[in-house]
Amino acid sequence: MKALHFGAGNIGKGLIGYLLNKSGFDLCFVDVNEESVNQMNSSNEYALELLDEKQTVEVISPVRALHSSAQDKVIDAVVEADLITTSVGADNLSKVAPVISRGLLKRIQLDKGHVDVIANENMINASSKLKDEISRNVSKNEMDAIQSTVGFPNSAIDRLSLSEKRSEGEVTLVEPYYEWMIEKQGMLHADLPSIKNATYVDSLKPYIERKLYMVNMGHAATAYTAFLEGYPTIQSALKNREIERFLRETLNESARYFTEMYDFEPEEMNVFIDETIERFKNANISDDILRVGRSPIRKLGFDERLIKPTRVLFELDLPVEKLTAAVATAFFFHNPHDEESVTIQSYIREQGIEQAIGHFTGIEDTTLKRKINDHYDRLRENYSLTTINER
C-alpha cells in the first residue's frame, strides 16, 4: 500500500509519517523545502527523537520525497497512492488543492479505484475544507466523479512536535503522547488497512472538543496563572503544588462537560486528566508562558476553550468556581509584544473589568459575570492562588 503525504514538517514527520510508516505503507512526502526533500532521498530515512527521559531515537525508513515543483511526478504519485494525507497548514490547503485535483482526475481516467484523502490541520473539518478547495479547481461534473471515488474523512490530531538542527542534520522532536482520530463515515477505500494506533470514530466532535476544552483550556489556564505568579514556563509553574492542584481542579470541573454532554465515563476523564497534566509537566519540554498565553482575545471567545465549558456548566447548575477563576487570570495577561494582550489591558483601563468581561467573552448572564469579576478582584489584591484554592 502506498501513502502520499503533503508536508514534511514537524507534524508530517512526527505524527502522520511516523504512523503511516509503522503501518507498513510505502511512504512518499511532498514538500516545498528542497533541503528536506534532498535529505530524505539521499538517506531514505529521517530521525525522530522522543522527548522522554531516555531521549529515545527512532529512524523512520524507508521514505522518499518529491519537491512540490515537480508537478507531473506529484500527479503520478497521487494516481498511484492508496492513501493521501496532508499537514501543510490550514492556509496552504488551497495551494495543494490544484495538483491533488489533477491527480484525482487522472486516477478516474485510469480507473484506479477508491482512495481516501485526509487533511490533518489545526482546524475543524480540514478534509472537508480541502474537498471544497478541490471543487474550486474542477467542473461540477468532475467533482461529482471525484466524490464517487474519493473519500474525505475528517480527522483530529494531537502531538507536540518540534525540530532541531544538529550536525547530523535536522531531527524531529516529539512528546511520547499522541492521538490521531479519523472519522469512519467519510472513508471510501474499503480495502485500506487500518493505520496503526490511529483511532477510528463515528463522530469527531467529542474528541475535538475534548482537546479544546480540556488540553487547550488547561494549557491556557496554567499559562495565565504562571504569568501572575512570575513563572517563565509551564513546566516551572507546575512544580508549584498549588498551581498543579488548581490545574487539576479546573480540569475536573471541565470534565463534567463531557460526562454530561457526551458518553464519556468519569473514570475515562480522570485518566485523561492524569495524562494531560503529565504532558504539561514533561521536563524535556519548555513551554514559554508568553507563547502559550498569546492571543488572549481569541482564547476568551464565546465558544472558545475558557468560556464554552464555563458557561455551559453554569447553565447546568454545575460547579464553575475554578473555571471562572481561570477566566479571571486571562484578564491579567500582559505581553507588550502581543497585540491582543495590549488591547485587553487598554480596554480594562478605559472601561473597567466588568465591561471587559462582557465585551470579550460574550457572556450576558449577570451572575456568571459577577463570579469572574469577584475572582479578578481577589487576584488583583494579592496575585495569589491561596484564595482560589481555599474556596
Cell of 338: 502581543
- pLDDT band at 165; cut points 50, 70, 90: confident
One-letter identity of residue 117? V
DSSP label at 92? G
> Would you call 201 helix, strand, or coil by DSSP?
strand
Cβ contact 99:134 at 8 Å: no
For 60-107, what is each residue's pLDDT tens digit? Answer: 999 999 999 999 999 999 999 999 999 999 999 999 999 999 999 999
For 173-205, what is each residue's pLDDT tens digit? Answer: 999 999 999 999 999 988 899 999 999 999 999
Rounded to two decimals, the pTM is 0.86
Of the candidates 180, 187, 292, the residue with the CA atom closest to the CA atom of residue 247: 292
Cβ contact 73:99 at 8 Å: no
Pairing relation of β-strands 83-86 and 115-119?
A: parallel
Percent over 70 (pLDDT), the chain: 98
Q: What average pLDDT does this structure show over 285-302?
A: 95
237-248: b (≥16 Cβ within 10 Å) or e: bbeeeebbebbb
Q: Please determine, looking at this structure, whether the domain spanning 2-201 carries the CATH number 3.40.50.720.
A: yes
Half-sphere exposure of 107 (CA within 13 A, CB side): 29
Pairing relation of β-strands 169-174 and 161-166?
A: antiparallel
Q: Apex CA 337: angle with CA 332 and CA 342, to 5°?
A: 45
Report the 10 Å Cβ neighbour count for 263.
8
| Sign of the alpha-carbon dihedral angle for 180, 125, 99, 185 | positive
- pLDDT band at 384; cut points 50, 70, 90: low
Report the 10 Å Cβ neighbour count for 126.
23
* Sequence spans of domains, the chain: 2-201, 205-389
What fold characterizes domain 205-389? N-(1-d-carboxylethyl)-l-norvaline Dehydrogenase; domain 2 (1.10.1040)
pLDDT at 389 over 60: no
CA atoms of 79 and 2, how far apart (whole Å): 10
Task: Identify the bridge partners of residue 115 per DSSP, sorted by sequence position.
Answer: 150
E strands within the chain? 2-6, 26-31, 46-50, 57-60, 63-67, 83-86, 115-119, 150-151, 155-158, 161-166, 169-174, 179-183, 199-201
Of the candidates 133, 104, 105, the residue with the CA atom closest to the CA atom of residue 119: 133
DSSP label at 319? -
